[in-house]
Structure formats: structure tokens, C-alpha cells
């Protein structure tokens, strides 16, 4: 009996110790933020956090953060696979100054999903979404504005590839809409569908180096300086079923060594529909272009 009592006491001590340690180290697979939350909370549905940064620290890798109500949830740095879903209740980020609104960095080959998020730079925010590592990133139903840098800035300077898929979203009032750069053996790929990129001071979509590839479809590139600029030698872009209009300089520009394929697009009221600085511009002969000096409303097919 004495031996049983000792074993029972020992077992009870182990259980008690394990229960006391678990809450401090556990991370939830699903957490919530609210405009009236508190980052001291566990980020549960009934006790949500206040910011994305607070929630992500309590969310396990491959977990999900939901917005319980509309609110401003602050800038966030993402270093693990995560989904931030504010589709039902839009989540806001005021990203005045540095760093960017959402920064994806440090840990390579993660998967990130951003849904239903508005990023407002307040006229001084450096970038909207920054992708600085090889990663698989989805940007869905997001709105990015008021940025002095780039709406989406993909800048890969290590070996490996970043793939960014962006759809049903808007970028406006930025230096560039989607900017892509790769170096040191890295690569950047962007799939852009049903996106409105308008009123940016530079390029709507900008391929700024080699090893950058963009596919743009069913997208509006309007009232920018250049709609799409493939400037990097070796960069490749495909533009299909899109409207390129009212761009101050050029609808689509191809730099030396770059390649652009275009099919079934409409060019309207650009200073120049296309320009070629020594690259390759391939057409499916089904693009509609307006011609300066032609009769109003007349277009040619190229």
C-alpha cells in the first residue's frame, strides 16, 4: 500500500507539472483578432487579440488568423506559413513609415495566404506587401493604397523562387503597382488576374531584373506612367484579355533582352500603345489598339 501511495503521488505530480507547462508553450491552429481585442488575450474566438502581430505570435505554423469584426490590426512580419483571412470582415493595416504593411521574410519556402486586407500607407508607407524570401504567397481581395514605395514588392536576393498569385485586388496611389526583382540565383514569378492597378506614378507591373516572370490576365492597367514594363534583360511577361488605357507614357514597354507576349488585349488612350527598346514583342494578332491621328473610335488589330 505504501508503494502504491508513492507511485500515485509521483504520477499526480507529473500530471500537475505537465498541465502547468502546456498553456505557456501551446500555440493555437486558429486565432482571432478584433477591434476591441487585447494582445494579452489568448486570441481565441471569445478572447481575441488586438493586432495581427499579437495573433501571429500565438498561432502555430500552418495556422489561420480570422477577423471577428472590421478594424485596424497593425503591420505584421510573417516568418512562418500562415493564412490571414478577413474576407467576412475587412482587416485594415495603417502602414505609415517603415516597414511595409505586411512583410514576408526570414524563413524560406513558407506558404502565406492574405485575404480581405486593406493596406493604407497614409502617404508615407514604404510598401504594401513585401516578399523578401522564396515563398508561395496568395493575395486575394486586398486593397492597397497611399504607398510611397510599391504596392506589392517582390525582391528576392537569395537562391530559390518566390511565386506570388494575386487576384480580385486593387493597387492605387503607389510608386509601382507590382514590382519584381531577383538576384543571387533567385527568381520571382507573379500570376496576376482580375486586378486593378491604376494611378501609380511609375509602372503598373514592373519586371526589373532577369529571372522575373509575370502572367497578367483580365486586368486593368490604367492611368499609370507605363502599364507594364519588362525592363530586365531575360524577363518574360504574358498579357492576355486585359485593358491597358490612359497610361501617360506607354501601355506596354519591352526593354533590351526582355520578352512580352500579348493576346486579346484592348489598348486605349495611351500616349503610346507599345514601345520596344530592343526586346521581343510577340502578338497574337488579336489585340485592339487605337492609333494617334486616326478617326475617333477607330482601332487596328495587331
pLDDT tens figures, 57-99: 999 999 999 999 999 999 999 999 999 999 999 999 999 877 8
Note the pLDDT of residue 300. 64
pLDDT tens figures, 185-226: 999 999 999 999 999 999 999 999 999 999 999 999 999 999
User: For residues 2 and 81, what is the distance between their CA atoms, to the nearest angstrom?
Assistant: 52
Mean pLDDT for the stretch of residues 49-54 = 98
User: For residues 300 and 118, what is the distance between their CA atoms, to the nearest angstrom?
Assistant: 39
Note the pLDDT of residue 96. 84
pLDDT tens figures, 7-51: 444 444 443 433 333 344 579 999 999 999 999 999 999 999 999
User: For residues 286 and 302, what is the distance between their CA atoms, to the nearest angstrom?
Assistant: 6
Mean pLDDT for the stretch of residues 239-248 = 98
Please give the class, per CATH, of domain 66-301: mainly beta
Q: Give Dmax over CA atoms of the chain in angstroms.
A: 105
Closest by CA position to 263, among listed 214, 217, 296: 217
> Where in the chain are the domains?
66-301
Closest by CA position to 272, among listed 210, 214, 234, 229: 229
List b or e across 188-213, with b for residues whose CB sees 16 or more CB atoms inside 10 angstroms: bbbebbebbbbbbebbbbbbbbbbbb
Put simply, whether the predicted model's pTM sits higher than 0.85 gets the answer yes
Mean pLDDT for the stretch of residues 174-189 = 97
Amino acid at each position: 500500500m505504501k508503494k502504491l501511495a508513492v507511485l500515485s503521488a509521483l504520477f499526480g505530480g507529473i500530471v500537475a507539472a505537465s498541465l502547468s507547462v502546456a498553456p505557456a508553450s501551446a500555440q493555437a491552429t486558429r486565432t482571432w483578432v478584433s477591434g476591441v481585442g487585447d494582445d494579452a488575450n489568448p486570441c481565441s474566438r471569445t478572447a481575441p487579440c488586438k493586432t495581427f502581430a499579437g495573433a501571429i505570435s500565438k498561432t502555430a505554423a500552418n495556422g489561420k488568423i480570422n477577423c471577428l469584426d472590421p478594424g485596424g490590426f497593425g503591420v505584421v512580419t510573417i516568418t512562418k506559413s500562415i493564412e490571414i483571412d478577413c474576407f467576412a470582415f475587412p482587416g485594415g493595416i495603417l502602414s505609415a513609415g517603415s516597414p511595409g504593411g505586411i512583410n514576408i521574410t526570414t524563413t524560406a519556402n513558407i506558404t502565406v495566404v492574405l485575404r480581405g486586407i486593406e493596406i493604407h500607407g497614409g502617404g508615407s508607407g514604404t510598401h504594401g506587401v513585401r516578399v523578401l524570401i522564396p515563398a508561395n504567397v496568395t493575395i486575394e481581395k486586398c486593397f492597397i493604397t497611399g504607398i510611397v514605395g510599391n504596392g506589392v514588392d517582390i525582391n528576392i536576393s537569395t537562391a530559390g523562387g518566390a511565386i506570388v498569385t494575386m487576384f480580385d485586388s486593387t493597387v492605387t496611389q503607389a510608386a509601382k503597382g507590382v514590382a519584381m526583382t531577383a538576384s543571387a540565383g533567385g527568381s520571382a514569378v507573379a500570376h496576376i488576374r482580375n486586378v486593378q492597378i491604376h494611378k501609380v506614378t511609375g509602372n503598373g507591373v514592373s519586371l526589373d531584373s532577369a529571372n522575373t516572370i509575370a502572367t497578367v490576365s483580365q486586368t486593368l492597367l490604367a492611368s499609370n506612367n507605363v502599364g507594364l514594363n519588362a525592363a530586365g534583360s531575360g524577363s518574360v511577361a504574358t498579357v492576355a484579355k486585359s485593358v491597358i488605357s490612359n497610361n501617360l507614357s506607354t501601355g506596354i514597354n519591352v526593354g533590351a533582352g526582355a520578352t512580352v507576349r500579348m493576346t486579346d488585349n484592348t489598348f486605349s488612350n495611351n500616349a503610346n500603345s507599345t514601345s520596344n527598346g530592343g526586346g521581343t514583342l510577340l502578338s497574337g494578332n488579336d489585340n485592339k489598339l487605337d492609333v494617334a491621328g486616326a478617326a475617333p473610335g477607330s482601332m487596328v488589330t495587331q
